[in-house]
Amino acid sequence: MSATTLRTSSLRAAVGAVLLLAALGTALFVLPDATRRRDEQEKARKEAKNLLTAQIEQLAQRQVLVDRLTLDQKHLEELEKKMPSGNVGQLQWELSQLLFEKAKENGVRLQTVKYGLPSRENAKGTDLESIDVEFTVLGIYPAMKPFMLALEGSGLPFAVGSARLEESPEGARLSVSLRAFRHSGITTKSGSTAQEEA
């Protein structure tokens, strides 16, 4: 029995050694491959996370831009609603009244107001018309800033082109050039502006 037991034990030891070698061989080939796959998956996960973060930041920036454009569009629509559509004389009258009222409220004196001819230059595709306006105001320096702020906050559609503040014998002299806008009302039978059809 001892020879059979010895043979069985040696057979078991040989089978165990073969299985141990097979396990070691598998471990030598499989573990590096599994580690490489895990590293590749981790790298891909990090890259995907970074890409997602970058896309979220881009989306947030674009949302800010969309919000700004929406707000600008709303302001533009409000400005167009306020824009006078009467004739040039009515716009000149409204501007003259506004200049006189703001000058009186702020303790300055309106010296001159000059109106240019209406122009449709750079108004392609719209019925907008612009009028250049130049005016001079006299007064003391501290009154000039509130006058300009009140004028700009009036809501009338105009853009200040230039302003020059000088000293004069009468006090401070503010010379301002601005461009006022109005709807000209020039439309064709189809409802579009004459400029659009040309």
Residue partners of 167: CB distance under 8 A and separation at least 6: 173
Whether 111 and 34 share a structural domain:
no
Same domain, 28 and 123: no
Q: Which of 57, 82, 107 is the last residue of a domain?
A: 82
Q: Clarify whether residues 71 and 115 are in a common domain.
A: no
Same domain, 72 and 93: no
Neighbours of 158 (CB within 10 A): 20
The rounded distance, in Å, linking the Cα atoms of 111 and 135 is 7
User: What is the reported pLDDT for 188?
Assistant: 39
For 10, list phi and psi in degrees, rounded to 5: -65, -35
Whether residue 187 sits in one domain with residue 95: yes
- Of 82, 107, 130, which marks where a domain is finished? 82
Shared domain for 78 and 134, answered yes or no, is no
Q: Are residues 72 and 154 in the same domain?
A: no
Domain of residue 128: give its range.
88-197
**Rounded CA separation 49/38 (Å):** 16
**Is there a single domain that holds both residue 123 and residue 184?**
yes
Q: Are residues 33 and 130 in the same domain?
A: no
Q: Exposed, middle or buried: residue 134 (CB in 10 Å: 0-12, 13-18, 19+)?
A: middle
Q: What is the mean pLDDT of each run of 10 residues along the chain (198 residues)?
A: 72 80 74 78 90 92 91 79 72 86 91 85 70 90 89 81 86 87 60 46
> At 109, phi and psi to the nearest 5?
-115, 125
Nearest in space to 133 (alpha carbons), one of 96, 87, 186 = 96
**Which pLDDT does position 134 carry in this prediction?**
93
Which of 65, 82, 99 is the C-terminal boundary of a domain?
82
Residue 126 and residue 175 in one domain:
yes
CA–CA distance from 46 to each of 40, 58, 59 (Å)?
10, 18, 20
Domain count, the chain: 2
Whole-number pLDDT of residue 124: 65
User: What integer pLDDT is reported at residue 179 of this predicted model?
Assistant: 83
Same domain? 55 vs 70: yes
Query: Which position has the token pair 């409000």?
Result: 78
CATH of the domain at 128: 3.30.70.60
155 with 74, same domain? no
Using alpha carbons, select from 114, 111, 113 the residue that is nearest to residue 172: 111
